[in-house]
Structure 1
């Protein structure tokens, strides 16, 4: 498992000036195109979202009063509850509005036909399935990553790589992700290979 802290991730500013992205992981590493990718975005201004043809996305509000995503003829959705995931096709052209000001979101993207992703909001132990990749991000409380692993607090998390042949440090077999406090809430992105 690979730990991360949002505040220490490199920040990439958007070309349109409407926000910034902190990439957590993109796999396979160094490839021309990702199979799956996890990032955290700070959305500072209303505007269009970049299209990602052939990619499925799950966006989840982490902080702020929400973001309204609109794709003409497809959906008009206000994400206003922290930790509630919303899945949509990256092929769609969409615009984002910020009814309550800037916000932060978790963005999971998977290459269609290679990977499938789902995001849940656990309050109890998480046991990543063998062969799956994924990420756990702490919303509230304290969590432990694996037996004897790091203690994680809000804004921190771990990711793991389920690709066959990955090194021992990449596999989540060291154990479950376990809440350590009664108020513990996390986001778990389970990224499963297709086929």
Structure 2
């Protein structure tokens, strides 16, 4: 199965803690609990410092898209500074996390995965103009174009568009003008090494 998604398919969702709104790009249903998700992709605008919502049992990956950055304090430990674009940071969703903005609002990309059910990874793929790259498959692959234009398995994608593929083999990614993509690979926990 292959499905192409764009801004008209995304929806705005209130934060679990009531502190803001996230644009939900994709939510994969949980295999046994309809009130939960297996995996969720979103882009959030963080306008002020404050606590993150808690997501017990969820592995979170956060990546800065725009802005000066933020410093996260997890469970009272030392701060982790996220001030470079496209650098994924993984942390447990149940950790009490406080965000301190470094210089105004930021936009970030979020991957959340139920760690008991699946393993997920987020890789940033930079394609130079005219470059082709092969990406290994997984049970589920989601490609989101962050910048530029690309073609995936012959399907053209522009910035903010996404391709959701179930059980693909290896994928050929190409960009004639240059592109940056977020590649999300998901595998069921029972199949993960």
TM-score of the pair, normalised by structure 1: 0.81
- Preserved CA contact (<8 Å) 2:43 2:107: yes
* Structure 1 residues 3 and 75: CA distance shift in structure 2, 3 A: farther
1:51 matched to which residue of 2? 54
* Structure 1 residues 156 and 95: CA distance shift in structure 2, 3 A: same
**Aligned equivalent of 1:41, options 28, 39, 44:** 44
TM-score of the pair, normalised by structure 2: 0.82
CA–CA distance in structure 2, aligned partners of residues 40 and 126 of structure 1: 26
* Structure 1 residues 22 and 53: CA distance shift in structure 2, 3 A: same
CA–CA distance in structure 2, aligned partners of residues 6 and 44 of structure 1: 21
**Aligned equivalent of 2:135, options 122, 127, 136:** 127
* Structure 1 residues 55 and 20: CA distance shift in structure 2, 3 A: same
- Preserved CA contact (<8 Å) 2:144 2:160: yes
CA–CA distance in structure 2, aligned partners of residues 90 and 70 of structure 1: 13
**Aligned equivalent of 2:157, options 137, 152, 166:** 152
- Preserved CA contact (<8 Å) 2:144 2:181: yes
- Preserved CA contact (<8 Å) 2:22 2:44: yes
* Structure 1 residues 79 and 7: CA distance shift in structure 2, 3 A: farther
CA–CA distance in structure 2, aligned partners of residues 2 and 101 of structure 1: 35
Which consecutive aligned stretches of 4+ in structure 1 deviate over 4 angstroms post-superposition? none
* Structure 1 residues 17 and 56: CA distance shift in structure 2, 3 A: closer
Post-superposition Cα deviations, 1:127-168, rounded to whole Å, max 9, x if no partner, equal 3524x2132122222111323x2x222222222345xxxxxx
The structure where strand makes up a greater share of residues is 2
CA–CA distance in structure 2, aligned partners of residues 68 and 113 of structure 1: 28
Unmatched runs of 5 consecutive residues or more in structure 1 = 163-171
- Preserved CA contact (<8 Å) 1:20 1:42: yes
1:9 matched to which residue of 2? 10
In angstroms, what is the RMSD of aligned CA positions? Answer: 2.3
1:188 matched to which residue of 2? 183
Q: Secondary structure at the match of 1:121?
A: strand
Q: CA deviation at 1:66?
A: 1.2
* Structure 1 residues 181 and 140: CA distance shift in structure 2, 3 A: farther
CA–CA distance in structure 2, aligned partners of residues 156 and 177 of structure 1: 17
Count of aligned residue pairs for this structure pair: 182
